[in-house]
Chain A
Amino acid sequence: MGLVLLIIIWLITFASTYFFIAKTWWLPAGASAAAAGIDHHFTTTFILMGIVFVAAQVSLGALVWIYRDRGSSSSKVTYSHGNTKLEIVWTLLTTILFVGLNLMSSSIWASERFRPAEPDAVRVEVTAMQFAWYFRYPGPDGKFGATNPELEDASAGGEAALGLDTKDGASKDDVVTGTMVVPVNREIEVILRAHDVIHSFFIPTMRFKQDAVPGLAIRMHFTPIQTGDYEILCAELCGLGHYKMHGMLRVVSQEEFDKWLAAREAEKQ
Chain B
Amino acid sequence: MASFSTTATVEDPRISLGDGGILPPTRGGGGDDSGPGLPDYALRLRRARLGLLVALTPVLMLFVSFTSAYIVRQGLPTLDPRTNTLVRDWIPVTLPKLLLINTGVLILSSVFIELARRQSKEQAALRAITAHPRVSAGDQMRIPWLSMTLVLGLTFLLGQWTAWRQLAANGFYVATTPSSSFVYLLTGTHAIHLMGGVLALLVAGIASLLRRSAATRSIVVDLTAWYWHFMAALWIYILCLLEFAS
Real binding pair: yes
Interface residues of A (CB under 8 A from B): 144, 146-149, 163, 165, 193, 215-217
B82 near A147: Cβ-Cβ < 8 Å? yes
Q: Is B29 an interface residue (CB 8 A)?
A: no
B83 near A146: Cβ-Cβ < 8 Å? yes
B83 surroundings in chain A (CB, below 8 A): 146
A115 to B92, CA, bound (A): 36
| A-B contact sample (11 more), CB < 8 A, given A146-B82, A217-B84 | A146-B84, A147-B81, A147-B82, A148-B82, A149-B82, A165-B82, A193-B81, A215-B78, A216-B78, A216-B79, A217-B79
A215 to B84, CA, bound (A): 10
A146 to B79, CA, bound (A): 13
CB neighbors of A among B74-125 (8 A): 78-79, 81-84
> Nearest 7 A-B pairs (CB), nearest first?
A215-B78, A215-B79, A149-B81, A148-B82, A217-B79, A147-B81, A216-B79
A163 surroundings in chain B (CB, below 8 A): 81
Instruction: Write the chain A residue with the least CB distance to B83.
Output: A146
Instruction: Write the chain A residue with the least CB distance to B82.
Output: A148
By secondary structure, the A interface counts as loop
A147 near B79: Cβ-Cβ < 8 Å? no
Most B Cβ at <10 Å: residue of A144, A163, A193, A215:
A215
A165 surroundings in chain B (CB, below 8 A): 82
User: Of A144, A148, A193, which contacts B79 at CB under 8 A?
Assistant: A193
A193 surroundings in chain B (CB, below 8 A): 79, 81
B78 surroundings in chain A (CB, below 8 A): 215-216
A218 to chain B, nearest CB (A): 10
B125 to chain A, nearest CB (A): 48
B69 to chain A, nearest CB (A): 15
A165 to B84, CA, bound (A): 12
A217 to B86, CA, bound (A): 9
A3 to chain B, nearest CB (A): 48
B144 to chain A, nearest CB (A): 55
A215 surroundings in chain B (CB, below 8 A): 78-79
A197 to chain B, nearest CB (A): 15
A2 to chain B, nearest CB (A): 43
B84 near A148: Cβ-Cβ < 8 Å? no
A216 to B78, CA, bound (A): 6
B222 to chain A, nearest CB (A): 43
A117 to B96, CA, bound (A): 49
Instruction: Write the chain B residue with the least CB distance to A147.
Output: B81
B79 surroundings in chain A (CB, below 8 A): 193, 215-217
B178 to chain A, nearest CB (A): 13
Instruction: Write the chain B residue with the least CB distance to A145.
Output: B84
B84 surroundings in chain A (CB, below 8 A): 144, 146-147, 217
B167 to chain A, nearest CB (A): 27
A109 to B84, CA, bound (A): 28
Instruction: Write the chain B residue with the least CB distance to A148.
Output: B82
CB neighbors of A among B50-89 (8 A): 78-79, 81-84
A163 to B84, CA, bound (A): 13
A210 to B163, CA, bound (A): 45
A165 to B81, CA, bound (A): 11
Instruction: Write the chain B residue with the least CB distance to A151.
Output: B82
B79 to chain A, nearest CB (A): 5
B81 to chain A, nearest CB (A): 5
Instruction: Write the chain A residue with the least CB distance to B76.
Output: A215
Most A Cβ at <10 Å: residue of B79, B81, B83:
B81
A5 to B237, CA, bound (A): 59
A193 to B84, CA, bound (A): 10
Instruction: Write the chain B residue with the least CB distance to A165.
Output: B82
A187 to chain B, nearest CB (A): 21
Instruction: Write the chain B residue with the least CB distance to A125.
Output: B84
Instruction: Write the chain B residue with the least CB distance to A152.
Output: B81
21 contacting pairs across A/B (C-beta < 8 A)? A144-B84, A146-B82, A146-B83, A146-B84, A147-B81, A147-B82, A147-B84, A148-B81, A148-B82, A149-B81, A149-B82, A163-B81, A165-B82, A193-B79, A193-B81, A215-B78, A215-B79, A216-B78, A216-B79, A217-B79, A217-B84
